[in-house]
Amino acid sequence: MGETITIAGAGLAGSLLSIYLARRGFDVHLIERRDDMRRHKLSAGRSINLALANRGLRALDAVGLGDSVRPLLITMKGRMLHENDQLHLQPYGKNDQEVIYSVSRPGLNRLLLDTAEAHGVRISFNQTLCHVDVDSATITVRDNVSGDQYQRECHPLIATDGSGSLTRRTLAFSPGATSAEEFLEHGYKELTIPADANGDHRIEKHALHIWPRGGFMLIALPNLDGSFTVTLFMPREGETSFASLDSHDAVTDFFTRTFHDALELMPDLATEFFANPTGRMVTVRCKPWYRRDKVLLLGDAAHAIVPFHGQGMNCAFEDCLVFDRLLAGESTHAVDWRSVFALFQAQRLDNANAIADLALENYIVMRESVRDPRFHLKKALSWELEKRFPKAFIPRYSMVMFHHIPYATAQSRGVIQEQLLEELIGDNDTLDHVDYASAKTLIDTRLGNVPESA
């Protein structure tokens, strides 16, 4: 066994990565600022369920976690839109295989921690990273229980310390480094639709519910216990904003006016609203992601994105898979970490920037475009084109959610596809007139087949 790899941050990315590395025979030490979540109920206010999609599942399957994780999942077949007192289900994909899953963040994180320990990963909780010397990979850590502070040299340090990563902020001073953070105008707040008296879901279980309202929206993802975790997204400041909802009455009024069918499902709304924090959402873009053979950023620490494409965790899990493949055939005693880090960045950075863009765009889709008939017309045509030309035309959403096509490819093909859809539909409001022979010519000319991908 070679030297010990230190992973800073035992969230979803860090704990899955530790499993990958342990399976390759590396000695792995995982340190985490928080207490062991397996010993406690989770705290309110953190996103307590997440959308798991194909990319994430593949990365879990690759370490043999498929069977353990599937009982934690709830299939979501589409978006259930709540508008004008009507419900409308928009399927996500073209068939029953093209779905996404709701999963409990702590449930999944616990599974990953248990699995990591079973693979021999050493995990130290309550360890706060106070300082990182990126030139020597020496970290200064405070033990939050004893209060003691100590230093350790890592071989190497892999930082999975999330969107506020101290390691990234330190790395950002390196020669040639660029680092940009962009905080969304909108914030979020988590609320609950409790289970009914029988412990069952009070609205359709197998859907991601959306109350799209243009300037803001409410969404709900199902939990195994019959409840839904609801998230309100709206401006942090301004006329109708988290800042303006400053009393129980204001909150109740707002929900009565805007989300009255959801309000009926949330008996504890006003209390929860003030008990739970208002979260911020940030997009992080930085470069480089590594320092020589010493330090690497992975997951949100390198490329935090907003949650609207449900790809933050999926992207981080795909990071782990890609990173693992780069180690194939390397002896644990003699890894050329610098090359591995450089290749990792080369494979992932453009893709991370692409999904960052797509996630920002998808907020508009969720809160606004889903209400537009033309959006649905284009979606219908997308599926028709996919049915007819499955090697060339895959709806952009599907490329991101149901395939492993690199995000950057999905993004660039998506731009061309959007233009094609606009041209093929023209000013019409049905698809009756679409000429699929000329559609094929256009697709062949401008798009070609999807390149084979890993």
Burial 240-251 (b: 16+ CB within 10 A, else e): bbbeebeeeeeb
Instruction: Candidates 25, 91, 215, 235: give the one binding its own copies (CB under 8 A).
Output: 235
Of 63-71, 148-156, 181-189, 195-203: span binding its own copies (CB under 8 A): 181-189
Piece of the chain touching its own copies by CB under 8 A; list 233-241, 319-327, 419-427, 436-444? 233-241
What's the CA angle centered on 271, arms 268 and 274, to 5 degrees?
A: 140
Q: Write down the least CB distance from residue 192 to its own copies, Å.
A: 25
| Helix/strand number for the chain, H first, E second | 15, 19
Q: Among residues 237 and 268, whose Cβ is nearest to its own copies?
A: 237
CB of 294 to its own copies, least distance (A): 13
Cα→Cα distances 173→54, 129, 162, 342, Å: 36, 18, 18, 18
What tokens does 2 get?
Answer: 């070679």
x/- track of binding to its own copies for residues 236-255 (CB under 8 A): xx------------------
Residues 147-176 that bind its own copies (CB under 8 A): 172-176
- Pick from 156, 187, 212, 222: which binds its own copies (CB under 8 A)? 187
Whose Cβ is closer to its own copies: residue 6's or residue 345's? Answer: 345
Among the listed residues 180, 275, 346, 415, the single contact to its own copies using CB under 8 A: 180
With binding defined as CB under 8 A, does residue 338 bind its own copies?
no
Tell me if 130 contacts its own copies by CB under 8 A. no
CB of 86 to its own copies, least distance (A): 32
Cross-strand pairs, 151? 140
Q: Which is nearer to its own copies, 243 or 346 (CB)?
A: 243
Q: Is 156 helix (H, G, I), strand (E, B) or coil?
A: coil
Shortest distance (Å) from residue 141 CB to its own copies: 23
Question: Taking the complex as a whole, how short is the minimal distance between the CB of residue 281 and its own copies, in angstroms?
Answer: 10
Would you say 172 or 431 has its CB closer to its own copies? Answer: 172
**Residue 131 belongs to what H/E stretch?**
strand 127-133
- For its own copies, the closer of residues 113 and 171 by Cβ is 171
**DSSP secondary structure string, 199-264?**
S--SS-TTSEEEEE-SS-EEEEEE-TTS-EEEEEEEESSSSSSTTT--SHHHHHHHHHHH-HHHHT
Which tokens sit at 434? 């679409």
Give me the least distance between CB of 176 and its own copies, in Å please.
4
The amino acid sitting at 18 is S
State which residue, 150 or 183, has the beta carbon closest to its own copies.
183
> What are the C-alpha distances in Å from 218 to residues 74, 231, 286?
19, 6, 31
Among the listed ranges 16-24, 62-70, 178-186, 293-301, the one in contact with its own copies (CB under 8 A) is: 178-186
Q: What is the DSSP letter of 396?
A: H
CA distances to 93, 207, 228 from 195, in Å: 28, 15, 8
Q: Report, in Å, the least distance between residue 292 CB and its own copies.
A: 9
Nearer to its own copies, 114 or 185 (CB): 185
Do residues 258 and 144 touch, judged by C-beta distance below 8 A? no
Q: Given the complex with its own copies, which of 55 and 186 has the nearer CB atom? A: 186
**35 or 185: CB nearest its own copies:** 185
Burial (CB < 10 A; 0-12, 13-18, 19+), residue 145, is exposed
Residue 280 CB, nearest approach to its own copies (Å):
7
CB of 238 to its own copies, least distance (A): 9
* Count of residues of this chain found to bind its own copies when the rule CB under 8 A is applied: 20
Partners of 186 in beta bridges: 235
**149-153 sheet: strands from edge to edge:** 127-133, 138-143, 149-153
Give whichever of 187 and 312 is closer to its own copies, judged by the CB atom.
187
CB atoms within 10 A of CB 331: 10
Terminal-residue alpha carbon distance, the chain: 29
Our CB check for its own copies shows the closer of 349 and 399 to be 349
- Shortest Å, Cβ 185 to its own copies: 4
CB count within 10 Å of CB 84 equals 8
Q: Which helix (H) or strand (E) holds 54?
A: helix 54-61
178 binds its own copies (CB under 8 A): yes
Shortest Å, Cβ 158 to its own copies: 21
Taking the complex as a whole, the smallest distance from the CB of residue 135 to its own copies amounts, in Å, to 9
Which of residues 280, 374, 387, 388 is near its own copies by CB under 8 A?
280
Structure tokens of 277? 């924090």
Which residues in this chain contact its own copies in the complex, by CB under 8 A? 172-187, 235-237, 280
